[in-house]
Structure 1
Amino acid sequence: MTDRTIVAGVAIDTRHWIGGRRVGSAETFTDHSPIDGAVLGEIARGGAAEADAAMAAAKAAFPAWAATPRAERARLLHAIADGVEKRLEELAIVETSDNGALLRSHRRGVMPRVAHNFRFFADWLLQLEHEDFETRGHTNHVSWDPAGPCVLITPWNAPLMLSTWKVAPALAAGNTVVLKPAEWSPLTASLLADIAAEAGLPAGVLNVVQGYGGEVGSALVSHPDARRISFTGSVPTAKAIAAAAAANLTPLSLELGGKSPLLVFADADLDLAVDLAVEQYDNAGQVCLSGTRLLVESSVAEEFTRRFVAKASALQQGDPRDEATDIGPNIHQRQLEKIDGFVQRALTAGARAVIGGTPNEELGGLYYRPTLLTDVAQDSEIVQEEVFGPVLVLQTFDTEDEAVRLANDTRFGLAATVATGDRERAERVGAQLVAGTVWVNCFFVRDLQAPFGGSRESGVGREGGDWSFDFYCDVKNTVTAPNGWRNHG
């Protein structure tokens, strides 16, 4: 068994990264490219032993890293960002090969954002403070103490960006990290370990353990030395993680699924609204924030649909490495079958496919046609459950109150998008929507200083800016009396 693989000319170590060195496992799992099914490598498959080793390394490295001055921690995070930028093209092509997202997106947006994640939290750390305040003459001083080893479990749809969204603030806060990447897209996490080591990050501060959630993942989230757990993924997995963490009262941050609405009012700029709706097919629909439920005011629904079909039909589906491609493959055969199952059950129940509705027979493999379904009931599975594929549903409404009612009528609450030309309506509707993020006449505008998370079954907690440090730290208040000091000559 080889410990390395070559993907698009890039050498990648397929072993874990624990305590500043590469560690193999007795077993491996096979990583396939969703583009063409090619084998990308045999990846070390961790279990309880590797989880224990990684947690031990993180625990041992924690005291020194927690005591490292803020300025030095920030310097190292900037050095990691430098390393990401130096290897941006390699990271982009490897991630495209591994998860099938567009290469042009990785080059222009995703990998630059990876570097920005490190730079942002490095800089935020240096200005993190709370003004002292007085209580009956006593001084209150708020500080953020590092919490300890953090277990970070990340998804496959934006592997490196979402990993570093957690890794960067956890490290900035003075914690050590055990990162468990998704088994369907593990490769760039291994490259991140190399970049961090080259930047000078001390051994044991960042550890990467690969494998299946039910094996090494379960061992990590139930580990008594884990002081924080952050997870992005599905609701059922989150419930299992929460149950495991409960035994140790380990604090959790959970960013979960969504079934977000996109509300289009008759007074909206329809061309803008159509652009926003078609954008929901980004990453082959594998975006938790996607507004997959198009709620369109009845008086403009026919015209909206006509324009939508024209624009969506012009999307180019194919190899994500091609600059002309707009939609690539879905991640895995299991995911493709799940997507098609949702669509076929909806069609059997009476839904109508305006466009799409099947895998792309011309391309074969894991490519699913961009799909829009209408004639769907509010309580139907296709309206209520997250598909996580290029599948949208269109419903109509007649009044603002009805639009809000339909928008809020799921168990999720991750995001919402509103298209309207009326500022007062935007404020009124936005205030009533159950969502962690509301976009008005825009989509996917994300600032790292803003709180991010979901309501209801879309998550627990918020991260970003101060909220990240509030989660990854033990926030302390020190109260000092105004007198009682002794003078020492």
Structure 2
Amino acid sequence: MNVRRADIGGVSVPVDHLIGGEWVGSDETFETRSPLDWDAGPLAHVARGDAATAEAAVNAAAAGFEVWGSFSPVQRAEVMHRLADLIDENADEIALAETLDMAFLQESMRLRLVGRGALNFRTYADLIVAHEEREWDAKNLHNWVQRMPAGPAVVITPWNAPFMLSTWKLAPALAAGNSVIHKPAEWSPLSAALLAELTVEAGFPAGAYNLVQGIGEEVGAALVSNPRVRRITFTGSPATAKHIGRAAADNIVPFTAELGGKGPLVVFADSDLDAAAHRAAWQFDDSGQVCLAGTRLLVEASVRDEFMERFDAHADALVLGDSRESTTQIAPMVHPEHRDAVHGFVERARANGDRIVRGGWAHEDSLHYEPTLIEPRSNESEVVQQEIFGPVLTLQTFDDEADAIRLANSTAYGLSAIVFTGSRERAERVGRSLRAGLVWVNTFLVRDLTAPFGGCGISGIGREGGDHALEFHADLKTLMILDDSCD
């Protein structure tokens, strides 16, 4: 099978599309560069799909669906478990390629995120086998509710933590029996190509999994507007989601979107202040390129100074450096365009009279942006209300519980929230009052993969996780048989 490949730090990575089980090139390419050494030139030139590529991928997915959709849940689970095993076996190579491609910390990738990718496939393989049809008698009828695979699904994934987030969205679609067309982000396309190669080795039938590389406005738009696509799932920005949603509506296609976040991190005076300050400082992790991050620090006024003393100590200890080094804690940003966009928020905050408490500048010799804390003039400041998606936090104080809830719920976003308190009663009371799809109390980024995941407001549509994702990727059918009408 002929395929163009690139050497990514000693890892051989395909740079073409995988369509119908075959590697397919394009007349044009786009380049991907490493945030760790941007000026060194391209890491790879990747196939740049177009409308014709999208049509070929949908054709392949339609044919692949006829085979994969006919597999029993047990058969699908066997293939998905083989893929999970292969991910574990190739964890070092996947981690290195993704680190070079988007600068995620290599040690964290290898120890945490690649393993989470394998776990995503194992989780959904087990869920699909364990599923029992609802069955009951009513009105002299015996009833079953059955899940039918829906058809080809377009899966569009983001540039941050691309491998883990790709597996999170692909696993339920494939477990449900759908074929998929995977379009990764053009800023970090390489780990998806390694995953594609592993799907072939794992034994997915041709066309069950298809990889299409390229620019969103070109090949992505062609994919989501194809009338034979029966599901669309997307992670990215609200602006892009609006375009995809319109295309989905034109073809009456179910669409789920996990979008941005502007999560509050609420610190009450009765909390473990050092734990809260440590967790707050670690919201700079991955240079703030995490949608779930608690970027709005809301601290009870009576403990502001003590909290800030502890926060500064933890933030001062953070190490910015090369993502391949085990001592590095804060990685470079993914792309100069994104770094400049983040700096634009900070500069407008300065001009608006918001106080830059710490940071507020880009490093000249790398794509690092100094971890930044801003004390805004008002709750209406842009840095409070808009997602920055960089290492920029805001600090506000509140007087009482009602004030904290008001501030926490005061943006158009509603993906996640973090609360620190020493009171179980307050934890439940405030947790129930916050408008967010996920609320953590005294912890962060720990959850059961079977729980629903998604946001409120402009943070998203629909829910992922467990049976919620499997239901989205299925068409439900009720089968009713008249009692005593058949032998």
TM class by smaller structure: over 0.9
**3-state SS, counterpart of residue 195 of structure 1:** helix
The answer on 1:236 being equivalent to 2:239 is: yes
Aligned match of 2:320: 317
Matched ranges for 1:162-311 at <5 A: 162-311=165-314
Cα deviation, 1:305-333, whole Å, max 9, x if unaligned, reads: 11101110110001010000000100001
CA positional deviation for 1:373: 0.9
Structure 1 match to 2:435? 434
The residue number in structure 2 matching 1:447 is 448
CA contact 2:67–2:205 (8 Å) conserved in 1: no
Q: Distance in 2 between matches of 1:27 and 1:326?
A: 37
- Between the two proteins, what is the percent identity of the paired residues? 53
Match of 1:161 among 164, 175, 191: 164
Is 2:369 aligned against 1:368? yes
TM-score scaled by length of structure 1: 0.97
Q: Secondary structure at the match of 2:294?
A: coil
2:183–2:220 contact (8 Å) kept in structure 1 = yes
Q: What SS class does the counterpart of residue 79 from structure 1 fall into?
A: helix
Matched position secondary structure for 2:69: helix
Distance in 2 separating the partners of 1:29 and 1:439: 40
**Deviation of residue 139 (structure 1)?**
2.3
SS of 1:175 mapped into structure 2: coil
RMSD over aligned CA atoms reads 1.2
What CA deviation, in whole Å up to 9, does each residue of 1:41-80 have, x standing for no partner? 0000001000000000000111121111111110000010
* 2:100 counterpart SS class: helix
Structure 1 residue 276 displacement after superposition: 1.6
CA distance in 2, matches of 1:275, 1:149: 44
Residue in structure 1 matching 2:99, options 85, 96, 100: 96
Normalising by structure 2, report the TM-score: 0.98
Is 1:391 aligned with 2:392?
A: yes
Aligned-pair distance for 1:130?
Answer: 3.9
Q: CA deviation at 1:344?
A: 1.0
Contact 1:258/1:386 (<8 A) preserved: yes
CA contact (8 A) 1:376 1:383 kept: no
Instruction: Measure, in 1, the Cα distance between the counterparts of 2:134 and 2:222.
Output: 40
Are 2:43 and 1:40 equivalent residues in the alignment?
yes
Moved segments of 4+, more than 4 Å: none
Q: What residue in structure 2 maps to residue 402 of structure 1?
A: 403
Query: What SS does structure 2 have at the residue aligned with 1:67?
Result: coil
Determine the C-alpha separation between the residues in 2 that align with 1:115 and 1:226. Answer: 26
Partner of 1:140: 143
Displacement of 1:142 in angstroms is 1.4
CA distance in 1, matches of 2:76, 2:133: 20
Cα distance in 1 between the residues matched to 2:247 and 2:167: 24
Q: Specify the SS of the correspondent of 1:292.
A: strand
The one-letter code of the counterpart of 1:329 is: P
Partner of 1:357: 360
Q: 1:132 aligns to what SS in structure 2?
A: strand
* Alignment match, 1:15: 16
Q: What is the rounded CA distance, in whole Å, between the counterparts of 1:134 and 1:275 in structure 2?
A: 55
Determine the structure 1 residue equivalent to 2:334: 331
Aligned residues: 484
Shift of 1:415: 0.3
Query: Following TM superposition, by how much is the alpha carbon of 1:360 offset from its aligned partner in structure 2, in angstroms?
Result: 2.4
**Secondary structure, counterpart of 2:413 in structure 1:** coil
The answer on whether the counterparts of 2:134 and 2:146 sit within 8 Å (CA) in structure 1 is no
Unaligned runs of 5+ in 2: none
1:346-380 deviation digits (Å, cap 9, x = unpaired): 1121122222111124xx22110111111431011
Q: What do the CA deviations read for 1:390-424 (whole angstroms, capped 9, x no partner)?
A: 00000000011111011000000000011000111
Structure 2 counterpart SS, 1:262? strand
Distance 2:7 2:286 in 1: 25
Q: Which moved more, 1:444-453 or 1:225-234?
A: 444-453
Runs (5+) with no aligned partner, structure 1:
none
